[in-house]
């Protein structure tokens, strides 16, 4: 990996973009503003891109939860300042164990913010339960925010054990723009370890695809200029390569859709609503962005093999 600082900074960027889009009314998130104070105005294409990303990922999260019921466990890789835990809590969704993992520098900031903000803390606090903190880790009831380098499988295993993750329960793994920052071999090792350890699992991976063309090269060059190397780019060539990495790593099956397909699968009324928030005079750029990101799901066992976009 190139500079870890630059990789961690991608979380600030993603969180600022999400906060900006939430502020404009693209979707509701009552918690992101606790984690992000600073905000810059982004182009309408970026806001629509984030809308599709959040809603697309939510689609599969909901499908998983509906199928898995209260036994569901969630492991969010490279969670950054993601707020899904709190949003699910507000919806009354019961999760048996929810684990967020990121570099210790990022989890330290997240734990600190949770501690300082009562609305965040109240929702992870379990009655009669104890909140255990270290500078980088936090355990409270079913919620765990833990610092680890995802390339260190042994440490990862220890962290998941500390969080009381059960290897036999239905488990959702999330990675939103994370694997692309990890060298391909290390990411494959992670996927192989997961497939050999969990028998009932769904992995939702959101990241780049079609990165071999001119637009993709420009995207990668822009990130490189900010010191951020896309070490896992070899799996981002196509939907086929995204699916292939799961199949080659022992997963039962995998499916992938680019964000053009994902966007058009979303509720037409909602799309209509958000398309009125900001005027987009250049449809071509949005199309290019949508063509260069995808959602790929990998599944272990047959429980989630019938999941489709709709």
Ligand X SMILES: C[S@@+](CC[C@H](N)C(=O)[O-])C[C@H]1O[C@@H](n2cnc3c(N)ncnc32)[C@H](O)[C@@H]1O
The residue ranges that bind ligand X (CB under 6 A) are 7-8, 10-11, 14-15, 78-80, 82, 102-103, 106, 149-151, 176-178, 181-182
Query: Which residue, 45 or 82, has its beta carbon nearer to ligand X?
Result: 82
Min separation Cβ 179 and ligand X, Å: 8
Which of 151, 164, 84 is CA-nearest to residue 123? Answer: 84
Do residues 78 and 284 touch, judged by C-beta distance below 8 A? no
Closest distance of CB 302 from ligand X, Å: 28
CB of 76 or CB of 241, closer to ligand X: 76
**Rounded Cα–Cα distance for residues 222 and 224 (Å):** 5
Least CB distance to ligand X at residue 77 (A): 7
Q: How far is the CB of 301 from ligand X (least distance, A)?
A: 25
Comparing CB distances to ligand X, the nearer of 14 and 138 is 14
- Nearest-approach distance from CB 32 to ligand X, in angstroms: 9
- Segments of 177-282 assigned E as strands: 201-208, 253-258
Q: For ligand X, which residue has the nearest CB?
A: 78
Nearer to ligand X among residue 7 and residue 21 (C-beta): 7
SS3 at position 167:
coil
Complex with ligand X: residue 227 or 305, whichever CB lies closer? 227
**Whole-angstrom distance, CA of residue 161 vs CA of residue 178:** 22
DSSP one-letter string for 106-147: HHHHHHHHHHH-HHHHHHH--TT--EEE-SS-EEETTEEEEE
Within 10 angstroms of residue 119's Cβ, the number of other Cβ atoms is 11
């Amino acid at each position: 990996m190139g500079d870890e600082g630059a990789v961690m900074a991608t979380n600030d960027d993603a969180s600022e973009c999400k906060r900006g889009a939430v502020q404009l009314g693209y979707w509701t998130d009552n918690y992101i503003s606790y984690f992000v104070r600073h905000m810059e105005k982004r182009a309408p294409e970026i806001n629509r891109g984030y809308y599709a990303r959040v809603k697309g990922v939510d689609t599969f999260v909901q499908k998983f939860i509906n199928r898995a019921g209260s036994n569901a466990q969630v492991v969010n890789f490279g969670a950054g300042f993601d707020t899904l835990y709190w949003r699910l809590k507000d919806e009354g969704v019961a999760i048996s164990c929810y684990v967020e993992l990121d570099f210790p520098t990022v989890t330290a900031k997240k734990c600190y913010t949770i501690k300082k903000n009562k609305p965040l803390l109240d929702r992870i606090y379990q009655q009669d339960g104890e909140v255990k903190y270290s500078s980088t880790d936090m355990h409270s009831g079913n919620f765990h925010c833990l610092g680890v380098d995802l390339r260190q499988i042994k440490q990862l295993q220890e962290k998941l054990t500390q969080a009381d993750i059960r290897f036999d329960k239905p488990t959702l793994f999330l990675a939103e723009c994370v694997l692309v920052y990890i060298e391909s071999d290390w990411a494959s090792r992670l996927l192989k370890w997961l497939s050999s350890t969990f028998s009932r699992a769904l992995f939702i991976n959101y990241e780049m695809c079609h990165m071999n063309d001119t637009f993709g090269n420009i995207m990668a060059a822009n990130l490189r200029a900010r010191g951020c190397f896309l070490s896992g780019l070899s799996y981002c060539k196509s939907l086929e390569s995204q699916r292939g990495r799961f199949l080659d790593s022992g997963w039962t099956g995998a499916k992938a859709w680019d964000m053009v397909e994902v966007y058009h699968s979303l509720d037409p009324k909602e799309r209509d609503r958000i398309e009125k928030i900001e005027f987009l005079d250049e449809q071509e750029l949005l199309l290019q962005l949508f063509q260069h990101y995808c959602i790929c799901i990998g599944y272990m066992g047959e429980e989630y093999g019938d999941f489709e976009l709709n």
